[in-house]
Amino acid sequence: MRWVAFMPLRAGSKSIPDKNLRRIAGRPLYAWSLAQAIDSGCFAALYVATDSPAIRASVEQAFGGQVSVLGRAAANCTDEAGTEVAMLEFQAKIDFDVIALIQATSPLTRAQDFVAAKQTFIDENLDSLLSTVNSKRLFWDAAAKPLNYDPSLRPRRQDLAGWQMENGAFYFTRAAVLKEQRCRLGGRIGLYEMAPESAVEIDEEADWLCAESLLLARQKPSHETAIAALLVDVDGTLTDAGMYYSAEGEALKKFNTRDAHGLLRVQASGVRVGVITAEDSPAVAARMRKLGLSDYYPGVADKLPLVRQLLADWGLAAASLAYIGDDLGDLDCIAYAGLAACPADAVPEVRSQAAYVCEHPGGAGAVREFCEHILRLNRQAGRQPER
């Protein structure tokens, strides 16, 4: 069967203006669940449908080559238009056997949720499936009538089996069900239960604050371990990836003083700072000497073996390592590090893997931004920077 993922993103949002593009924990809101859908490997193709040129540009920059962007009719992007209308418009354009409707307002969805839910769909021979969380709340209607328990026999929470509450993260629907019933749910319906925190759907500012705190907590190293080391790529990260030549033919590079200050601030807080680059440039070596960074490793084409060796020499675990890079040569290190980041203009493959995508591009403040993020996380973990 051909499985496709579909995320409708419209420009309008009354409760939170420009909600889909607003950055949360280092990424645009839509990017969190979309990146997890890519990582799951569940889908033959992924699509975003939007009426917004800004959203189109953002998706194409962040996920170019991995996600296709389609237009949406204006009539299907009003406050009154239901999501099924967008799904049916999509179905008229794209062939599929099963569609996964993914909602950007549920950024806590994980890749393993898609994998497990797809297996449930297949194993139970379902026609549609919805994601849920288990709720052990006691409900009343507006007339003060209890709906799911007897007040005279009030149960203890731990004794409740609970009820499955729709969390709106995603839905799976067979093409025939959508076409014939014009609804995302129909036929043999199944449930996939997600983690309790996934009940957070972003509709109001309070939801945003809650979701962001949970996303930031995911970026912390495990077991309350603070970041103890930061490794930084050079070209496209500490520099703008440009190559400048003097009249004598010497290669020059452009660095940002704010990035340098960020590295020194992190180093002063007790974090070990290292720089790794595939090139062996006299200009970079001179900059490292100027900054007093002795952990400088030039001419490293395959970075991960060196990173592993450095951590072993320093007596550190991968969970305590932060890494920032921008290109394909950084992917292994980004996957290995406890906290990984990339500049805003990193290649799509790197942006989809990094936990923190900077607002700033390479050579223009991305490293400083990530350094400040590390300092915040270390303060939260109880490791105070030196003053």
> Among all residues, which ones are annotated catalytic?
154
Question: What are 175's two structure tokens?
Answer: 């093409």
Question: What are 284's two structure tokens?
Answer: 């970079």
296 in Cβ contact with 317 (< 8 Å): no
By CB neighbour count within 10 A (0-12 exposed, 13-18 middle, 19+ buried), where does 258 fall?
A: middle
Backbone phi, then psi, for 9, in 5-degree steps? -135, 110
323 in Cβ contact with 237 (< 8 Å): no
Question: What are 143's two structure tokens?
Answer: 């007339």
Give residues with Cβ within 8 angstroms of 112, minimum separation 6.
Answer: 40
Strands 321-324 and 189-193, how do they pair? unpaired
**Dihedral, CA of residue 372, residue 375, residue 376 and residue 379, to nearest 10:** -160
